[in-house]
Amino acid sequence: MINKKIDWAVICTALWIIFWVSFFMKGFDSNEGFGGLGAFLSGIFAPLALFWFYKSYRVQTNELGLQRQELELQREELTLQRKALEQSVMAQKGSEAALKAQLAITEQQFSAYLKEYEGRKPFFILLDDGYNKLKIEKPIGNGNTLDITTVSQINTSEWSNISAKCYLTIKNIGGVFELIDIEVTVTPTTINKKIKAHWTLNRNIKQGFIAYSIVLTLRNNFQTLSPKDFITFSENTFSDIILNFQYQYADTSSSDLYQLKVDNEVFALEKLM
């Protein structure tokens, strides 16, 4: 529609110019000179300039109207998008609430499972029955040993045969299990292989529970240690030691770490997390 109006304006402009050029060629007096020619041309083109200014104004007004309509359509689309986004946010909030509720239920179920799972595992404690002791021993023949309390009891020729032993009695107050092995870890790790754990199963009929007798043995095969130094070294070694209990329960195998501490003949066994 706009292009059609512009075409009519061009035709009218062309006819206007042709008419006045024809008039100029027939009726213009050459005696008027250039001044008359300029006045004639200004009289012709002044109305055309005003006419085309008006036409440009109309075209620009129409374009601005179209742009405003497009902006209104875009605003409506943005409004619809905002409403859709708000609905999506509300739906996500509902999904989030449902997910949180589901997670809470899952956490409760998992906590209950862990509680049941941990309850089926064994839990070891030390028995205070006077059996928990730390001794320095030397063999005296026929499978017998002698407790050493002073360095003077050790001859120079036999000091390499002495050994340090830590006697323990433990009891399980947890679930039913079968003990497989006990590994010992101490610091520094270079002496881990020099400490052996020997354990036996004893059933306490009177008390009605099963106890385990454990003997941790550290032999004096350190060529650089004197008897006195070995006694001190043994006491320091057994004062902070890690026991790895390997066991089987509920058709599965597992292990737990316990820390043994000995301080002035006071024994403590603590489970490590």
Query: Which is more confidently placed, 150 or 219?
Result: 219
SS3 (DSSP) at 193: helix
CB of 253 closer than 8 Å to CB of 247: yes
CB of 217 closer than 8 Å to CB of 164: yes
Q: What value does the mean pLDDT take over residues 241-247? A: 88
pLDDT in tens, 99-124: 888 888 888 888 887 776 666 788 88
Per the omega criterion (within 30 degrees of 0), is the bond before 139 cis?
A: no
CA 234/CA 166 separation, integer angstroms: 10
Query: Which is more confidently placed, 264 or 100?
Result: 100
The per-residue pLDDT for 143 is 64
Q: What is this structure's pTM?
A: 0.52
Q: What six digits make up the tokens of 240?
A: 């902070």
Going from N- to C-terminal start, the domains of the chain cover: 1-119, 124-271
CB of 195 closer than 8 Å to CB of 218: yes
pLDDT in tens, 39-79: 777 777 888 888 888 888 888 888 888 888 899 889 899 98
CA 2/CA 20 separation, integer angstroms: 27
CB of 139 closer than 8 Å to CB of 219: no
Q: What six digits make up the tokens of 133?
A: 């002791």
Confidence of residue 258 (pLDDT cuts 50, 70, 90): very high
Confidence of residue 208 (pLDDT cuts 50, 70, 90): low
Could you write out the three-class secondary structure of 94-121? HHHHHHHHHHHHHHHHHHHHHHHHHHCC
CB of 194 closer than 8 Å to CB of 233: no
CATH class for the domain made up of 124-271 = mainly beta
* Number of other CB atoms surrounding residue 44 within 10 Å: 16
Lowest mean pLDDT among 173-177, 188-192, 199-203, 244-248: 188-192
Lowest mean pLDDT among 100-109, 158-167, 197-206: 197-206
CA 122/CA 256 separation, integer angstroms: 9
CA 234/CA 219 separation, integer angstroms: 9
31 has pLDDT over 70? no
Query: Which is more confidently placed, 247 or 240?
Result: 247
